[in-house]
Structure 1
Amino acid sequence: MTARIDELMARIEALYDEIENEIAERRQRMRYRLERGKVRFETEALRQQREWREGLASFLSRANPWHILTAPVIYSLILPFVLLDVWVSLYQAICFRAYGIPRVRRSEHIHIDRHMLAYLNALQKLNCVYCGYCNGVIGYVREVAARTEAFWCPIKHAGPVRQPHGHYAQFMDYGDGARFREGLNASRDRVTRGE
């Protein structure tokens, strides 16, 4: 990897840190804290959230009929998502162990906590659980796939890739056959070290 790419990656990491700091400041403004992974709202903040909750009947009466009619299509995806989650977990349990790649922790990707917000009604909470799970599975699967790609085929694509995974910047340039074997070994070393 070139010094310029190293510099850009460091700037990206610094931006992620800035985002995390901003979120931490907003946590304080929303009057909650995290204790051992659990959200704890101040009593007054929780009381106010309950006042903001819209009842289920009112919520459904105002709903767009198309939203209600398409809900079964949305929720039908739960089966493929669960199957994908289970299959990818099995895949990495077998293959990553064989390759010496550190396993991806599901808990770092799948976050289900928005259903704890007192201003959401039961249906909104269910929607939040569903979205948190499905988007978390996608993030989890993406990291498993990224580590697999870094182990087997760490070559950049010929054209631009929008929002590539975190390993991509270290991949070899497209067409650089002279460095392929050396670059493949270096990428495998990085991914098995958990970098």
Structure 2
Amino acid sequence: MNNRIRQILNQISALEDELQTAVEQQQERLHYRFEDKRISFEHAVSETHRKARMGIFRWFLTVRPLNYLTAPIIYGMIVPLALFDLCISFYQLTCFPIYRVARVRRADYIALDHQHLAYLNIIEKVDCMYCSYAVGLLGYAQEITARTEQYFCPIKHARKMLGAHARYAHFLAYGEADDFHAKLEEFRAELAKETDQGRKLHDGDPQDDSDKTS
């Protein structure tokens, strides 16, 4: 990786930190906090949310008729999604220990918290939780496949790829054949290092906090 690419990646990392700070500041402006894994709004804000909630009967009147026709299709997707969830989880549970690759924490990607929003009625809460599960599941699966790709084939594509995972930027350039297998082992060593760091953190060793990777 040349210095220019490394510099751009460092800039991206700095922007991600800046974004996280902005999100935390927004959290303060919206007056909510976490209490025992539950999100709690200030009383005045909660009251405003409840007043903004649309009743079920009124909500049904606002739904586009064609949306009712597509409901069985979109909710029917829960079956392949749940099966995919089961398969991808079984894959990493059985194979990642053999590859010495750290398992992806499902809870880091699937966040179900929209049910705490008082301005949503029960149907809207179910809709939001379904979308959150689907999007989170795909992010969870992407990280599993990204770690798999890093282990077996950490090579970029010849053309620009949209929606590339975070690890992709560090992969070898397309056609970079020099010492490929030696570099491949370096990528695998990085994955093994992540596994070792994860075990230390799990055992309560705080010294590797600064090296924690996503």
* Sequence identity percentage: 37
Give the CA deviation at 1:163. 3.0
Gaps of 5+ in 1: none
Give the CA deviation at 1:15. 1.3
Counterpart mapping for 1:1-195 below 5 A: 1-194=1-194
Give the CA deviation at 1:188. 0.8
Give CA deviations for 1:54-89 in whole Å, capped at 9, x if unaligned. 001101111100111111111011011111111111
Q: Distance in 2 between matches of 1:45 and 1:160?
A: 45
Retained in 2: the 8 A contact 1:172–1:179? no
Q: TM-score when scaled to structure 1?
A: 0.96
Q: Distance in 1 between matches of 2:111 and 2:128?
A: 10
Q: Distance in 2 between matches of 1:18 and 1:34?
A: 21
Give the CA deviation at 1:116. 1.0
Give the CA deviation at 1:10. 1.4
Q: Distance in 2 between matches of 1:132 and 1:66?
A: 23
Change over 3 Å in CA distance of 1:8–1:79 after alignment to 2: same
Residue identity in the other structure for 1:21: T
**Secondary structure of 1:34's partner?**
strand
Q: Distance in 1 between matches of 2:163 and 2:73?
A: 28
Give the CA deviation at 1:166. 1.2
Give the CA deviation at 1:137. 0.3
Q: Distance in 2 between matches of 1:98 and 1:163?
A: 28
Q: Distance in 2 between matches of 1:193 and 1:75?
A: 40
Compare 171-180 and 58-67 and name the one that shifted more. 171-180
Q: Distance in 2 between matches of 1:99 and 1:30?
A: 44
Give the CA deviation at 1:22. 1.3
Q: Distance in 1 between matches of 2:66 and 2:18?
A: 39
Q: Distance in 2 between matches of 1:68 and 1:26?
A: 35
Q: TM-score when scaled to structure 2?
A: 0.88
Q: Distance in 1 between matches of 2:184 and 2:163?
A: 22
Compare 93-102 and 159-168 and name the one that shifted more. 159-168
Retained in 2: the 8 A contact 1:54–1:119? yes
C-alpha RMSD of the superposition: 1.1
Give the CA deviation at 1:132. 0.6
Q: Distance in 2 between matches of 1:184 and 1:157?
A: 16
Give CA deviations for 1:129-167 in whole Å, capped at 9, x if unaligned. 100101000000000000000000011111111231111
Residue identity in the other structure for 2:15: L
